[in-house]
Amino acid sequence: MQAKEAEAHRITASRRDFLAYRTVCPFCGERVGPRFVTREHADVPPNPPYAASVRCPRCKELYEVVFTPRP
């Protein structure tokens, strides 16, 4: 049960889309971007940050955006 709950609080997006506010909250659909980051996760090389914790401004849910590697 905890694994499913953790997956519900994680989305995958390109860093470019995230910086341009083209990602949406998985709970309410609000567009989010770097302004709503609460923590950057920079502990995995080669291109930190590899993920960011985000708090949605509308529904206040906390979730993680995992950045996809560059092609």
Q: pLDDT (tens digit, 9 = 90+) per residue, 60-69? A: 999 999 988 7
Q: For 27-46, what is each residue's pLDDT tens digit?
A: 999 999 999 999 888 765 56
Sequential DSSP letters for the chain: -HHHHHHHTEEEE-HHHHHTT-EE-TTT--EE-GGGEEEEE--SSSSS--EEEEE-TTT--EEEEEEPPP-
Model confidence pTM above 0.85: no
